[in-house]
Amino acid sequence: MPVLPVPDPPLTDDVVALRLWQTADLDQRLAGYADPEFERFTWSTGEPVTEARLREHVEQEERERARGEKLSLAIVDAAALDQVWGGCSVYDINLDQRRAGVGYWLAPQARGRGAATRTVRLLSQWAFDVLGIARLELTCAPDNFASQRVAARSGFFLEGIMRSYMRFQGGRRDTMLFSLLPGDLRDADRPDRQPTE
Ligand SMILES: CC(C)(COP(=O)(O)OP(=O)(O)OC[C@H]1O[C@@H](n2cnc3c(N)ncnc32)[C@H](O)[C@@H]1OP(=O)(O)O)[C@@H](O)C(=O)NCCC(=O)NCCS
């Protein structure tokens, strides 16, 4: 599979911008990963996120991009591109099946103003338009209510709960599965929205 394209210039809606991670972001990324909510819902190993582990993770992400499997981007302030608000990714990319997953996190100071919803909408539109994805999946823990709201506000529909779906922090965890088709994204703001085909 080819190296994934990178949004250039950054994807933006004039509030958030999504750009490639840079070396200078390391400390801000590390601070975001140290947040208990991030550790609770996102970091599956349960080990503390040290600088060494983050560097390994970054190298792994570069290999995944080169293999066409995952694109990881920084969520930054559109008015100050060096101010990291969080991170997002398109992952498990299967261009043959035209399917992929979308993930995100925000640093505590960037929460509560819709930045995650803006991010998911921008990234989803890009995945549909540029990668030709036909179905995006979003998964989260059953008790991650903020993330479930982000999914719904971005136009996703809940498909169900996958029991004991994944290894997580020394045990196993259920996962909620949401999906988004291009028409769902177009209708995301309609109060009477229904799943599209
Ligand atoms: C998930 C996350 C990105 C959401 O950030 P956000 O969009 O800024 O979150 P907000 O505070 O604006 O909340 C979004 C919605 O969830 C609701 N919400 C927030 N925290 C909540 C909670 N603990 N319980 C119930 N609802 C909650 C908000 O009221 C809001 O609802 P609204 O759309 O009806 O206004 C952020 O909480 C985060 O980074 N969490 C840790 C990492 C993570 O869980 N990533 C997702 C993994 S699937």
**pLDDT tens digits along 140-151:** 999 999 999 999
**Residues contacting ligand 1 via CB (< 6 Å):** 37-38, 41-42, 104-106, 111-112, 114-117, 140, 144-147, 149-150, 153
Residue 126's nearest CA partner among 174, 167, 89, 164 is: 89
Domain assignment of residue 82, given as a range: 11-186
Q: Using the predicted structure, report yes or no on whether residue 43 has a pLDDT greater than 80.
A: no
Average pLDDT (46-54) is 86
In this predicted structure, the answer to whether residue 1 has a pLDDT above a threshold of 70 is no
Q: Domains in the chain: how many in total?
A: 1
Above pLDDT 70, what percent of the chain?
A: 99
- Asked if residue 68 belongs to a domain, the reply is yes
Query: Exposure of 93 by Cβ count < 10 A (0-12 exposed, 13-18 middle, 19+ buried)?
Result: buried
Rounded to 5°, the CA angle 192-160-92 comes to 100
Atom of ligand 1 nearest to the CA of 116: 7
Domain membership flag for residue 5: no
pLDDT digits (tens, 9 = 90+) for 88-109: 999 999 999 999 999 999 999 9
Q: How far apart are CA 122 and CA 68, in angstroms?
A: 20
CATH number at residue 132: 3.40.630.30
Question: Residue 181 domain-assigned?
Answer: yes
> Does residue 121 register a pLDDT over 80?
yes
